Structure 1
Amino acid sequence: MKIYLQGGPARRPRVSSPASPSSSAAAMADARECRGWLSALRRDLSNRRRRADDDGTPFTDELLVVIFARVPDLADLVRCAATCRRWRRLVSGEAALICCTPRRPPGRFIGQLALGFFHLQLEGLLFMPTAFASRRFPGLLQQPPPSLNKLFDDGLFDGFSHIVASRNGLLVINLESGNHDRALKLCVCNPMAGVVHVLPHLGGMDGLGHYVCTVLTADDRDDKIINPPRSTSYFRLVMLYTRCGFTAFRSYSSEEGSWSEEAKLTNPRLGRKQMGLTNDGLTHNGVVGCGGRLVYWLSNKVVFVLCLETLQLSVVSMPRSGNGQSFDMGNTLLGLSPNSMLCAIQLGRMSLRPANRRVPIRVITCTDRSWWDTEELIQVGQSLPEDVGHVMLRWFCEKSGAVFFSTFCGSYPLRSEMYVLNLKTRVVDKLASEDRISNPWACVHGYEMDQTAYLASLAEPEGVEDM
């Protein structure tokens, strides 16, 4: 995967559709490129007059980049970029090289990583930006809203394509064509870089039943990993799916360019109900912890945990809701806290009566398979309209601390609104409002930048903000 930081159109290579491989065949992904959101930002900056950026230090650019690559904390790198024009140019322009070195988790939410959310409509996979994203990437604030269908205009996402996972700047998309083809066709897309990898199809004897998946990236590694990925564009797609009598595992690595052999998981078998299917027919997003060693999925009142090193599967029971109520799967999101602990975001017990109005969002954390309340209830009712009647949690962006939730307001026809809560500042922003009978936010996937894209976006002073 290559990030294009210079202006001008990227030439899309001439490729052929991959054949359905056998379970042991190595087949490279079909890689396609276009002008991503970062390229549009850099083209805009290239039109501005360049100013002198001498910082008075005797170090060469090459030496400074080596020093920046050794900085162990992302927040310190952002502060370096804010020091002067030269350092900002080096940090943003050499972001991919700097991010090759693993660094420790930031220990705090980085709100600027959250750019917005994708939602599935008849027009395609549309994107709704946050206020920060609209300021930093003016091209995202347009009518009609930007979509993946227009970003990659070769018809790749036509048909019934839908997102099944979103993590660290990457989207995993199921390329359903609607022609009753049983083959599973997945792609991994980076809209910031303008790159999409169409993976070899899984069909025939490789046909899958119900599945859950997620994607690991170079950002998931920590400074304790001995052999880190060779590139910041590395990704690994991991998948669990049902087989007759057992639960199977496969993965695709961008470094190897092929699917792994099917493996049988030990311990509990997961069926259709345990694959995390929600009422809307979507799978819960996978959460990656412990430096990319563990993957968590929220299922039917439990969390199942996959150890990628041993391919062992275990189950953690979910806690009761507030006041001992049964757990509300439809209003629960899974993620990691800034200190890398597994946590759940849940809508607490609501009260919409004027005299006792409460709309709380509850945060609970887990360690050693024991849950406890953090006693942190964030009241968001004061930020909602008085005629709100229903609230639904949609997505938790764990690196930025952004929680997307929707509301139904008023009477027939209902007004549906979309909000984002910043867990760090506890500020609620309204993103969109739709007057329609149907639910426009049924298929929502939040989107965050990865570290490389975030540093590359710091090219101008207005992009450097307090973390």
Structure 2
Amino acid sequence: MSLPEDMVREVLARVKDEGDLFTCAGTCRRWSFLAADVRRRRWPYHPSSFLSGFLIAKSSARSLFPMPASVFGRDRRLLRSFFHDAVGSLLKRATPLAARHGLLLMRLPSSRALLQLAVCNLLVGTCDVLPPLESGWRYHDSGYAIFTKADCSSTGKQQPSSSSPRGYSALFKVLVICGNRDHQPFTLHAFSYCDGTWNTPTETVFDPTKLGICGPLMHRNAVVCHGTAHWLVGWDHLCPSDSRLHTIDVDAKTSQVSLTKIVSPIRQNLHIYDEPQLSVSANGILSLIYMERPGNNWQGFQLEICTRKDDERSEGDGPVTWLYSRVVELKPPNQIQAERLHLTFLGEKGGTVVVRDNYMNFYIADLETGVMEKLKYHGHVSRQMFIPFEIYWPTF
């Protein structure tokens, strides 16, 4: 006998952790609607996604490392364990590149002249191999993005399509923006799920060397906000307030590329401890997060959060105003000798920040309270290797 709807809702309302609530949502369609309703009532201002784990983009770590109370359990899981034997074998030597809304973009083993990508759904256990892409560049110096149909919808809701590949009705487009260390202009490749092909490569109209932008993209996995993918370029740690900081922006519908100069509001005397991170705030605004340590003790470890004024749209390489939003002081666990720590900012997703200390221990911190929790030892991981994996509530 099935339980009455109000009784099920009452049971779900007593589930304290958001990850556990998401696990309950996978019971059946009826429970998924009820769990989503409970989640909206309890966390009305939280993002639609929450960090459930992370991946490390290197050949020796093809695993998902779960967060505490993750829907995937407590211990790390090999990626091939999410799929049946044939797909698992296909991904045995694959490298994770980007993730969005429970989907994972993987690079499959291939020749140097080709880039073979696949989009995987870890919740469903399916994998969609894309046509090979000719490449004369190194994949690890490039940027990647996954667009869903919600990114191109004015309502932000998924619209299934019978023409989409199996298991991927939510997918719309995959982007690869190719960079290199020779400071040449970036080149954009876009795979459309409507057409089933890669488009003709588009060379960007701006020359990074003329703007003083050197080196590859600062992060491989794009930050997607309001139907636009963003990559950060041009950071100079010696002069953090310098105007060479830009975002490369690609529109989901048109694949049009633009460059936006960031007029940073950070103070001249601010001691930036690590390069900034792009993020999306709980209310859906593009944000920059800086890590600051002005003093010689732990009290200086803070996150300075700036948000973009979305009512100002740039044209060409014109600047967009960014404003100070708030400051969050990081609060380490009591047993940690905080004064001896040096932190590296790895990433943020759904209001959870992940940092690594000089002893290669990982910590998560709540972006509202700054309270930190120590995770397991994961070795040396750079920001370029770190890929946060989010669970997206509207999927249900």
Task: Work out whether the TM-score is over 0.5.
Answer: yes
Residue number in structure 2 paired with 1:28? none
Residue number in structure 1 paired with 2:372? 428
- Residues 49-71 of structure 1, C-alpha deviations (whole Å, 9 max, x = no match): xx422449xxxxxxxxxxxxxxx
- Residues 396-431 of structure 1, C-alpha deviations (whole Å, 9 max, x = no match): 11xx211111112xxxxxx32111112245432222
Deviation at 1:173, TM superposition (A): 1.9
Residue number in structure 2 paired with 1:116? 53
Residue number in structure 1 paired with 2:201? 262
Aligned partner of 1:439 among 373, 380, 395: 380
Any unmatched runs of 5+ in structure 2? Answer: 7-17, 162-167, 236-244, 313-319
Residue number in structure 2 paired with 1:297? 231
Deviation at 1:245, TM superposition (A): 7.1
Give the secondary structure class of the aligned counterpart of 2:341.
strand
Deviation at 1:286, TM superposition (A): 1.1
Residue number in structure 2 paired with 1:385? 336
Deviation at 1:439, TM superposition (A): 1.6
- Output the CA distance in 2 between the equivalents of 1:192 and 1:343: 28
Point out the more displaced range, 340-349 or 217-226.
217-226
- Residues 36-94 of structure 1, C-alpha deviations (whole Å, 9 max, x = no match): xxxxxxxxxxxxxxx422449xxxxxxxxxxxxxxxxxxxxxx9xx9xx99x8434467
Deviation at 1:183, TM superposition (A): 0.9
Question: Using a 3 Å threshold, how does the CA distance of structure 1 residues 226 and 109 change in structure 2: closer, same or farther?
Answer: closer
Contact 2:307 2:324 in 1 (8 A): yes
Contact 1:335 1:343 in 2 (8 A): yes
Any unmatched runs of 5+ in structure 1? Answer: 1-50, 57-78, 409-414, 456-467
Deviation at 1:318, TM superposition (A): 5.3
- Output the CA distance in 2 between the equivalents of 1:223 and 1:91: 27
Residue number in structure 1 paired with 2:144? 213
Question: How does 1:440-455 map onto structure 2 within 5 Å?
Answer: 440=381, 443-453=385-395, 455=396
Give the secondary structure class of the aligned counterpart of 1:331.
strand
Question: How does 1:127-142 map onto structure 2 within 5 Å?
Answer: 127-133=64-70, 136-137=71-72, 140-142=73-75
Deviation at 1:347, TM superposition (A): 0.9
Contact 2:362 2:376 in 1 (8 A): yes
Residue number in structure 2 paired with 1:372? 323
Question: Using a 3 Å threshold, how does the CA distance of structure 1 residues 93 and 108 change in structure 2: closer, same or farther?
Answer: closer
Q: Which has the higher contact order (CA 8 A, sep 6+)?
A: 1
Give the secondary structure class of the aligned counterpart of 1:184.
strand
Residue number in structure 2 paired with 1:37? none
Deviation at 1:394, TM superposition (A): 0.5
How many residues matched? 341
- Output the CA distance in 1 between the equivalents of 2:194 and 2:102: 18
Q: Does 1:181 align with 2:112?
A: yes
Structure 2 counterpart of 1:380, one-letter code: K
- Output the CA distance in 2 between the equivalents of 1:123 and 1:319: 38
- Output the CA distance in 1 between the equivalents of 2:220 and 2:372: 23
Q: Does 1:126 align with 2:67?
A: no
Question: Using a 3 Å threshold, how does the CA distance of structure 1 residues 92 and 207 change in structure 2: closer, same or farther?
Answer: farther
- Output the CA distance in 1 between the equivalents of 2:288 and 2:178: 24
Give the TM-score normalised by structure 1: 0.62
- Output the CA distance in 1 between the equivalents of 2:49 and 2:159: 26
Contact 1:276 1:297 in 2 (8 A): no
- Output the CA distance in 2 between the equivalents of 1:126 and 1:385: 27
- Output the CA distance in 1 between the equivalents of 2:263 and 2:108: 33
Give the secondary structure class of the aligned counterpart of 1:132.
coil
- Output the CA distance in 1 between the equivalents of 2:157 and 2:53: 34
Give the secondary structure class of the aligned counterpart of 1:357.
helix
- Output the CA distance in 2 between the equivalents of 1:341 and 1:383: 33
Question: How does 1:14-413 map onto structure 2 within 5 Å?
Answer: 51-55=1-5, 89-92=28-31, 108-110=45-47, 113-120=50-57, 123-133=60-70, 136-137=71-72, 140-142=73-75, 145-152=76-83, 153=85, 154-159=88-93, 161-177=94-110, 181-203=112-134, 207-208=136-137, 211-224=142-155, 228=159, 230=161, 232-241=169-178, 246-266=185-205, 268-270=206-208, 276-278=216-218, 283-290=219-226, 292=227, 294-301=228-235, 302=245, 303-308=247-252, 309=254, 311-317=256-262, 319=264, 321-325=266-270, 330-349=274-293, 351-353=295-297, 357-367=299-309, 368=312, 369-381=320-332, 385-386=336-337, 388-397=340-349, 400-408=350-358
Contact 2:62 2:95 in 1 (8 A): yes
Deviation at 1:120, TM superposition (A): 4.6
Deviation at 1:165, TM superposition (A): 1.5
Deviation at 1:218, TM superposition (A): 3.4
Structure 2 counterpart of 1:445, one-letter code: I
Give the secondary structure class of the aligned counterpart of 2:373.
strand
- Output the CA distance in 2 between the equivalents of 1:342 and 1:127: 27
Contact 1:352 1:358 in 2 (8 A): yes
- Output the CA distance in 1 between the equivalents of 2:188 and 2:302: 38
Contact 2:178 2:186 in 1 (8 A): yes
Give the secondary structure class of the aligned counterpart of 1:316.
strand
Give the TM-score normalised by structure 2: 0.71
Contact 2:271 2:292 in 1 (8 A): no
Question: Using a 3 Å threshold, how does the CA distance of structure 1 residues 405 and 193 change in structure 2: closer, same or farther?
Answer: same
Give the secondary structure class of the aligned counterpart of 2:133.
coil
- Output the CA distance in 2 between the equivalents of 1:362 and 1:378: 9
Contact 2:108 2:118 in 1 (8 A): yes
- Output the CA distance in 2 between the equivalents of 1:342 and 1:251: 23
- Residues 143-166 of structure 1, C-alpha deviations (whole Å, 9 max, x = no match): xx312144345432344x432222
Question: Using a 3 Å threshold, how does the CA distance of structure 1 residues 318 and 403 change in structure 2: closer, same or farther?
Answer: farther
Point out the more displaced range, 211-220 or 110-119.
110-119
Contact 1:111 1:422 in 2 (8 A): no
Give the secondary structure class of the aligned counterpart of 2:283.
coil
Question: Using a 3 Å threshold, how does the CA distance of structure 1 residues 187 and 89 change in structure 2: closer, same or farther?
Answer: closer
Structure 2 counterpart of 1:194, one-letter code: G
Give the secondary structure class of the aligned counterpart of 2:62.
strand
Residue number in structure 2 paired with 1:5? none
Residue number in structure 1 paired with 2:239? none
- Residues 85-118 of structure 1, C-alpha deviations (whole Å, 9 max, x = no match): 99x84344679xx9xxxx9xx9732487211111
Deviation at 1:322, TM superposition (A): 4.6
